[in-house]
Amino acid sequence: MLRGIDLALRDGATALLGPSGAGKSTLLRLLNRLADPDSGTIRFRGEDIRRLDPRALRRRVCLVPQLPAPLPGTVAANVRYGPSLAGRDVSVERPLELAGLAPSFADREASRLSVGEQQRVMLARALALEPEAMLLDEPTAALDEQARDGVERTLAHLVARTGISMVVVTHDRGQAHRLADRIVEIQNGHVAAWA
Ligand SMILES: Nc1ncnc2c1ncn2[C@@H]1O[C@H](COP(=O)(O)OP(=O)(O)OP(=O)(O)O)[C@@H](O)[C@H]1O
Ligand SMILES: [Mg+2]
């Protein structure tokens, strides 16, 4: 349960830090309209997000879920899917590259990749939509230290190269400091600290 959250998330990278059950994933879901608050208002660039079409909002602000859930089919098909719903045909090369996947991944079956690779596919799927902001829910939770360092480098490059805004959920304070300009700490559904 989230209560009394009064937050403004700015451009750049923000980390949402907090223990398991604190409400981090719930907050991302609210920002993406996968849930609505019982009271209060969430605004994106000044506009109440309930006034926006949820699908349009989710193209502008992309959620990469805690557990990767690729669609059946190849990596390329996964990357093309979102833009195709909006009537756009995209090249898969750039999203793959930004997500740190070699071009040879394009023809591989997404569901047969490792969890870390699938997480990068989910990142590439989000990037193919050219969103203004990305919401990343514990992008390295399932990874070993080496794979985690790789994903952190990818995310840091992404912010530097594309200027995309990012909200990264993590329970790892070190990661929050490595990845983010700002840290919002959530405990028991409240904002406990904000730096
Ligand atoms: N719509 C809802 N209404 C009330 N409570 C909810 C709702 N959705 C989730 N919760 C509860 O809020 C709490 C926080 O859940 P959430 O998944 O956001 O935690 P989290 O910080 O992401 O934890 P983890 O690090 O384990 O992923 C949980 O106890 C969950 O059951
Ligand atoms: Mg969570």
CA angle, 97 then 103 then 106, to 5°: 110
Please work out whether the CB of residue 25 comes within 6 Å of at least one atom of ligand 1.
Answer: yes
Q: Which of 3, 25, 64, 167 to mutate to test the pocket of ligand 1 (most atoms within 8 A of CB)?
A: 25
Residue 167 CB coordination number (10 Å): 23
Looking at the structure of the chain, the number of domains it has is 1
Range of the domain at 36: 13-194
| Rounded Cα gap, residues 50 and 29, in angstroms | 13
- The tens-digit pLDDT sequence of the chain (195 residues) is 888 888 888 889 999 999 999 999 999 999 999 999 999 999 999 999 999 999 999 999 999 988 899 999 999 999 999 999 989 999 999 999 999 999 999 999 999 999 999 999 999 999 999 999 999 999 998 888 998 999 999 999 999 989 999 999 999 999 999 999 999 999 988 888 887
Instruction: Specify if 4 maps to a domain.
Output: no
Instruction: Specify if 32 maps to a domain.
Output: yes
Q: Which atom of ligand 1 is nearest to the CA of 26?
A: 18
- Residue 174 sits in a domain whose CATH number is 3.40.50.300
At residue 182, the 3 state secondary structure works out as strand
* pTM strictly above 0.85: yes
